[in-house]
Each structure stands twice: as C-alpha cells, then as structure tokens.
Structure 1
C-alpha cells in the first residue's frame, strides 16, 4: 500500500483539464501486515468478501489519457482496473450481478487518437464509455453519443462534457473547486482573496468569470492574477497580487508553476493564509517548498482517503488487494471513483444490460454517494446544475492540511 509517489506525467496547461485533472497528492508511505483488518498510517483496511459476479459480461469502455507527449496518466486506468477486479471477484457484479469486461483504449490527448478510441468503443459495442477526464470530449462525445452510448466522466472538461444529453459529468469540476475554496476561505474569516491562475487556454479568464459571483456570495472580494505559461519567474506578478494585502491566496496551475508561486509567496508573504488544491500538494511541489509552507492551511480535494467511512475503508482495501503499487493519494483514485460511481448508479438495474439501460439509470440517479467521496453526492437527473444538466454534482471536500501535506477532517462544500 502506498501513499506517496509522483505521477508519471508531463503536464502542460492547454486549458482547465491539466490544471484540475492531473492532480496528485504527496504523503508518507505506510506499513501493512497480513491481518484481515490492518491498521496503518493510511487508516484501516478489511478483508474483501467472496461475492463473485455470476451474470453474463457487460462491456464497459474506458478511455485512458495515456502515452501522449503532453500528458500521460496511466494511474487513471490502473485505478479503474482495480475497481473492476473488486466488482467481478468480491462486489457481486455490476447491475444485477453481471461481470464487467473492461475495454480499454489509450488516447494521447489529441483529436486523432481520441477519435480513434471513440470509434473503437462503437465497434466493440460497449454499453458505456468511462473516463476520469479528458479535454477531448468534443471528439469523443458526438461519436459515442451518436451510437446511443452514454459517456460518463468524473471531470467534465469540454463544453460537450457538461452540456450533451449523452454525457454525465459526475464531479463538480472547476465550479465546485471554487465553491470549496470560497467556503474554506470563509471558514478562515477571509474577506479578500487573490487567486494566481495559469493563463493557458484562457483559464484565468474562466476562473474570474465563474469565481466572482461565487466569492461575492460569500462576501469575499476576489482578485485573479493571470500568469502566462512559460514565465521563468512569477515573482513580480505575485507581488502585484499581494499588493492589496489580501486575507488569503489560492493557486490554480500545474505543479511547476504552483511551486514557483509558493516560493515567491514564502519570500514576500510567508504568513499568508492559503487554500490549495491537490495539484499544489503534489509531492513534487512539497519536496521543493517544504510541507511547512502548506501545513495548517486549507486544502481542497475530491476524495476521502483516510477516514473510517465504509467507502473509504473499501477504497483502501481494494487498492491494497488489487493495486498495491498504486498511490492511494494519487490520480488512480479518480479512475476508481468513476468506475465505482457508475456501479453505484446502476445498483438497482436488473435483467439485460445495454447502453440504453445504463443511460436510463444514469439519468435517474438522485443523491448517490461518490465512492470514497467523504459524503459527496451526485445526481444526474438534471437537478444539480439546472443550466447544465450534464453536471451531476456541486460538491467538493475541504479540510486542514496536516504535517504530511494531506487535507484531513474533511467537510463537504457545495
């Protein structure tokens, strides 16, 4: 069982996708034993039940962002594969007891390979297409949706992800992250905040457009400072963002820029309160700036790794059994979540299972718990965000960052 470890990826900001989706979290390694129930630094685990699937296999597609020169995150696939092992061998199967035949296609985060994967899914006649997140929804959704296949993503990135009737975006995405940031800031008594945002793909403008009304609702004055890609030293821009003496700061960027911004803040305003997402808590960041730069501040996350909630215990147990080399706190969690969330959403389905059955079940979901989500719920029945009915949740978690750089004692925002 592992807690730390860097992600095998090369990130660039072509938009919101690489900012919010390619997230990792650094932590310490944990010990383990051969006991059925093991108490570790990560929390307890339990023996998995012997409850194998008995029904005919259902093909579920998984499009993995993997092998590209821009970003490659095989951990998403590995987390989903671990979840499938559990469902087939221990979890009683999918949708009334069917085993899952996971059909994987790897795309390089560019239109040609993404289109190829979408066509493969149609050719393979999968009953649903899952992904932890990709910026290539505009290439994938029309193809699979046109074939009547539901597209289920944990993180909605493209416009079609959050607007297509064939798409289901399970998590709250950037809006939920901003709500959680504002909630955490309010809890810390902040009246003003500066967000330093990488400006790749117009991200800073999106954050300002979405963030202003959110922060206004919390009576917090928001300032967004855009930092262009490739800036060798953001110190002058950081100084401008701190000139008004904001009560707190946040950063939305890749890990490299987050490191540079945090270093500049340590120099000019070391006592500034921070609200940080998991990208800025990446091991690669903390190795440079030191955990003392973030400890005691608020952290934003979409997964509850360490609590004693049954779904968190199950998550730790499944990865311990089927993916022991996968970091518990890394992006593999997102692959696990999208697969298990789909299983949970189809728990009441019986009989034959096909694309139409799964789509109908997804459209009917109402207050289903996100696996290892710390109490986050998703509803894909159009009630979560009425203006964008493909978005299924508004919730994210926040909590105080501990001495390992991990948000703890998580609360639901949104």
Structure 2
C-alpha cells in the first residue's frame, strides 16, 4: 500500500500510525519513539511511566491503570505546516494518553491507543486524513485546532464519526450530531471585542487576520454579530508569512479603526504588532491567545504589550492549578515539552476532556456509544481550563450546537508581555 511520510517520520495524509498507549521515560522513551514511527503499536505491556514517589504524584492522582484490548482514537494535527507549527501536539498527545491510561483507566477501563495523521495545513491532506480515520475504524477523532477543518470535517460527519476539537469554526459548529468543540469562538471574536469597544468608547472593531479560508470564514458570522451590537466592522486580511505589514497597516494610524484585534499564530502577530508600532498606531490593540508566546515576548517590546487585554484559550504562563497539572503530566510522561505554548495545553485539554466525557461508556466502545456518552455527560470542569466548564448537550450556544463551553478566559499582559491573572468570564450553568 502506498504511503507518504514527511521528513519528521510522521504519516502525512495517507496511512496514519498508531501511537503506543504508553511510553518509557528517559532513553527508553526515545528508543521506543524511534521504533514506533511506522504504523505498528506496542504489545500492550505494562511499560507506563509512573510518578509514584515524586512530588507530582499528588497532582496526578492515584494509579488506576487501564487494562485489556486498546480503544483506538484518531488524532489529526496540522503538524508543521506553512501557516503554523503545531507539531508539539504529537508529543503532548503521547504524554496525555500515558497519563490517562495510568491514572484514569483510559476509556471503559481499556487503554487508549492513538492513530495519528498530519495534514501539513493542506486541505487535500486534511480530507485524506479524515478518510483514513474512517478506514482505520477508530471510534472517535480528536484535534486541537486545524487550518483545514473545512476539508477534513465532512468525511467524518458523513461517517457519523465523533470529532472532539478544541477550537472550530464554520459549518462544523452547526453540527448537532457528532461534533464537539471546547471553545466558543464568539467569545474571542464577538463578545470580547464588543465589550472592549464599549469600555474605551469607540463604535468600530477592526480585525487583522491571517488570510486562510479556515481563519477568515468565521467572520461571515462575526461581522453581522458585531454590527448587530451597533458597531462598525472592518477585516484586514494579510497573507501568512508576510514579514512587513506596514503597507496594509499604515492607514490605521491615519484613520479611526476603533479597537484593533489581531488574530493569527505568534509569528503572524509579531509582524502585526511590530507593523502597528512602525506606522505609529497608538490606539487600543488586543490579541488572541495564540499571539502570545515566548517568541512574541522577545520580538515585541514590552512597552507595546503592557496592558494588552487577551482573551485566552488556555491559562498558560502563570502559576495556577491548571498549569501545575499540565506541567506535572508533561514532565512525568513526556520529554522536552514546551508547556508555555497555548497549543500544547489545548491538546492536553481536549484529550483529557474527551476521556472525562466518555468515562461512563460501557460494553462495546463504538462511535455511537461515544456520541451518546458525550451528549449525556453532566456539566464538568474543563480539564486545565482555568475555571471554565463544559457540557456537550447542544445547549451551551443553541446557534452553534457543537459548542460545549460558555464564556472564556481573560488576562492582561505585564511589561514583559506575560499574562498576569486569568479570569473566567461569562461562565453560566449549561441547562439540561
């Protein structure tokens, strides 16, 4: 069977590989990782790393190992593509699955086994990965976020294969059958900028967005929502990889753009922030959480970042119960994982939330059994969610039944570009 492998050794848009349900620490983990680059898995032996006797054992909870035949879960990631580098999702997913298998009895008491595929932000590969998940007979698929969701989602929808994704947009959010999203895009893109505009006394919102179909399609819904609130809306699309944005941003300094929100990965946001500085813009700038990373803090002066309000998808960068748990998992079950990245913590959240929402599955673990369990699960704390809660019964936002969360997190940056404190905002009980 023909296969396609990228230079990192991950299957790309063709044959997914099964990732072992657990891994050893230290040199043994590295050796095992190299051996498992292909399609095969391990023999299910008891090789799970343990934190017993370490300072993290209290955070990780008691040992409750999964046993028996593995439950195969698909994981689709953009990996390292032209728009962003999300290859960290693979390392985080391995560590998280090892933690869930050792401390939370996997799914239905059986170990989770991952089957992964990398899209490289290519729509065709996104479709191919989704079709492969159907062929591989996984019982569900998880994803952090994807620039090619519009192409990878339809095959899973048609096959009634459940998808739990951290952040989604477009038609997938209107799916009431088998799609479950753990963030509400309207909080970041509508609720927050509207509130900020009112706070500073302006009647306009301008968004600087990376120009990719998945990123900009959501604004077809965002624009009328913001205009309904009595505000003018303007969208500036800039191609990914644009280093000098001053030609596109110079009119903002001379005009009245109101609130300026920057939406993209950290590389895109660095260029946007520095472009706004270069053209002399002095108005209110807000950035989405993916904008802020250690690279941003090094590349953009703290004087520009200080006081910036950021709607956050994950409470990274501060010492709180969520970050302490994630760091304990990453250091105990993983190796060299950058826990400061929102994408890393989001991947942990979506896998841990999937396991939590399916904890009552019993008998045969099928896609329909998984869907039923997720929809029937009561409201629970979102793992590493900083105080957010989730319930996937379609009522968190009736206009987007795939959404499982109400509200979001807010933080303010200090003079080094670091978040200060995360506060959950708009969190109300999700009714029966």
Q: TM-score, normalised by structure 2?
A: 0.74
Q: Is structure 2 residue 297 aligned with structure 1 residue 286?
A: yes
Aligned residue for 1:53, secondary structure, equals coil
Structure 2 residue aligned with 1:297, among 308, 315, 333?
A: 308
Aligned residue for 1:383, secondary structure, equals coil
In 2, Cα distance between equivalents of 1:162 and 1:79: 28
Q: Report what 2:368 is aligned to.
A: 356
> CA 1:212 to 1:70, structure 2 compared with 1: closer, same or farther past 3 Å?
closer
Q: Report what 2:25 is aligned to.
A: none
Once the two structures are TM-superposed, the CA of residue 155 in structure 1 deviates from its matched residue by 1.5
Structure 1 residue aligned with 2:236, among 215, 226, 237?
A: 226
Q: After superposition, give the CA deviation of every residue in 1:352-407 in whole Å (9 maximum; x if it has no partner).
A: 32211111112224433221111222222111221231222343211111344232
Q: For the Cα contact (< 8 Å) 1:83–1:318, is it kept in 2?
A: yes
Q: Report what 1:106 is aligned to.
A: 118
Q: After superposition, give the CA deviation of every residue in 1:329-368 in whole Å (9 maximum; x if it has no partner).
A: 2122122111111011112333432211111112224433
Listed as ranges, the matches of 1:340-355 within 5 Å are: 340-355=352-367
Q: For the Cα contact (< 8 Å) 1:53–1:93, is it kept in 2?
A: yes
Q: For the Cα contact (< 8 Å) 2:394–2:403, is it kept in 1?
A: yes
Listed as ranges, the matches of 1:1-400 within 5 Å are: 36-37=54-55, 46=59, 48-66=61-79, 68-69=81-82, 71-95=84-108, 97-160=109-172, 162-163=174-175, 165-173=177-185, 175-179=186-190, 181-182=192-193, 185=196, 189-192=200-203, 194-198=205-209, 200-201=211-212, 206-207=218-219, 209-211=221-223, 213-214=225-226, 217=229, 221-229=231-239, 233-245=244-256, 248-267=259-278, 269=280, 271-305=282-316, 310-330=321-341, 331-400=343-412
In 1, Cα distance between equivalents of 2:375 and 2:313: 22
Q: Larger % of strand: which? A: 1
Aligned residue for 1:358, secondary structure, equals helix
Aligned residue for 1:155, secondary structure, equals coil
> CA 1:207 to 1:146, structure 2 compared with 1: closer, same or farther past 3 Å?
closer
Number of matched residues? 373
In 2, Cα distance between equivalents of 1:397 and 1:56: 38
**Long gaps (5+) in structure 2:** 1-7, 9-51, 427-432
Q: After superposition, give the CA deviation of every residue in 1:257-306 in whole Å (9 maximum; x if it has no partner).
A: 43333224334556533322123323333322223311222122111236
> CA 1:48 to 1:69, structure 2 compared with 1: closer, same or farther past 3 Å?
same
Q: For the Cα contact (< 8 Å) 2:381–2:387, is it kept in 1?
A: yes
Q: After superposition, give the CA deviation of every residue in 1:50-87 in whole Å (9 maximum; x if it has no partner).
A: 22123542111111222545554211122122110101
**More displaced, 398-407 or 199-208?**
199-208
| RMSD (Å), alpha carbons | 3.3
Aligned residue for 1:409, secondary structure, equals coil
In 2, Cα distance between equivalents of 1:48 and 1:263: 44
Q: For the Cα contact (< 8 Å) 1:197–1:204, is it kept in 2?
A: no
Q: Which runs of 4+ in 1 moved over 6 A?
A: none
In 2, Cα distance between equivalents of 1:380 and 1:271: 41
In 2, Cα distance between equivalents of 1:76 and 1:92: 22
Q: For the Cα contact (< 8 Å) 2:170–2:217, is it kept in 1?
A: no
